[in-house]
Structure 1
Amino acid sequence: MWDVDGAKLGTSLKGSEQCVPLSIAFNPDGQTIAAGCATHAAMIMMWNVRKGSELARPL
């Protein structure tokens, strides 16, 4: 993710599988990001924004 305030690369999102995002959404509190992935049919991945660590795969 890009750090807009610092104009530099911020946190990288990590996961056990690659995700080519088709859509991305932030939780309103700014702590979680979710992506609908093109790599696997009907797969959604969620990450902790600050740590870049994978949180869940609801589908």
Structure 2
Amino acid sequence: MIDRNDKDATPNRRGQADLGPNDAIASQLKQYFTSVEEEPIPDHLLSLLEKLDQAERSGGSNGTN
């Protein structure tokens, strides 16, 4: 949990000054987005991507011509 009362700038793991709440928020956001990035792609989306690839290979029209 974040200690919002700690206003002193102390060095973090990289030896840089801790910027307080903004640094903590940035760190938590990075952890969250990294975890999302590592999630597997759902099978139904992979299936849709494969259908799109097949349509493009067969010269299918997407209605934009």
Higher strand share: 1
Higher helix share: 2
Determine if the TM-score, normalized by the shorter chain, exceeds 0.5. no
How high is the TM-score relative to the length of structure 2?
0.19
How high is the TM-score relative to the length of structure 1?
0.20
Larger RCO (alpha carbons 8 Å, 6+ apart)? 1
Which is greater in Rg? 2
